[in-house]
Amino acid sequence: MLNIVLFGPPGAGKGTQSQHIVEKFKLIHLSTGDLLRSEIAAGTPLGQEAKLLMDDGKLVPDEVVIGMIDNKLKANKDAKGFIFDGFPRTTEQAKALDDLLKSNDDSISGMIALEVPDEELISRLLERGKDSGRADDQNEEVIKNRLKVYNDQTAVLKDYYSKQGKFQEINGLGTIEEVFGRIENAIEKA
């Protein structure tokens, strides 16, 4: 199976690029952000709890997102592979993902990190916030908090995958097509 972790700070282009990757490589797209927003839209207790954290730019508890991914992996046993978008975001999530895949004799093929400077991330997210309806994209303080959370808790995963020989970093600046071209090259090497 081809299992790719698409990595990067908020606004780096993970969601955008995942759509192109799914089309080309026929993988199943698993975005914990999208799964949480579906829970919020459905008004479930999980969604109500997650909304409070997401609106502040904080992470949802590990066990919640790990449980959601576990369910999706079990529901898609015949998949050609997965693109993990916005997951894992902590070392605990990365270890859990390795264990879940291992129980199916599977593993992560590679992690691709999109690198984009903070000023560009802030401007992209504020732009999306104008019409996305996402509270976490509308306030610069919340966006800065998301970047802080990324630097404090998530960026460390570059080392985690580097130690496994699975880490590739690419430039996330340029047109969506240019960035996708770089991702295609990286996937071929994964």
Active site residues: 14, 89, 128, 134, 146
Query: Which one among 3, 57, 111, 183 touches ligand B4P, defined by CB under 6 A?
Result: 57
- Binders of ligand B4P among 11-30, rule CB under 6 A? 11-16
Nearest distance in Å: CB 176, ligand B4P: 5
Residues pairing with 73 in the sheet = none
Q: d(Cα 66, Cα 108) in Å, to the nearest integer?
A: 15
Instruction: Pick the closest to residue 170 from 114, 104, 88, 96 (CA basis).
Output: 114
Q: Which of 153, 151, 170, 155 is nearest to 112 (CA)?
A: 170
68 binds ligand B4P (CB under 6 A): no
Taking Cα atoms as reference points, which of 69, 118, 119, 115 lies closest to residue 89? Answer: 69
Task: Give me the least distance between CB of 162 and ligand B4P, in Å please.
Answer: 20
Contact 168, 190 (CB under 8 A): yes
Cα gap 146→68, rounded to integer Å: 21
10 sits near ligand B4P (criterion: CB under 6 A): yes
Q: Of 60, 111, 147, 186, which one interacts with ligand B4P (CB under 6 A)? A: 60
Number of residues this chain uses to bind ligand B4P (CB under 6 A): 27
Q: Is 182 in the site for ligand B4P (CB under 6 A)?
A: no
Binding footprint of ligand B4P on the chain (CB under 6 A): 10-16, 32-33, 36, 53-54, 57-60, 65, 86-87, 89, 93, 124, 128, 136, 146, 176, 179
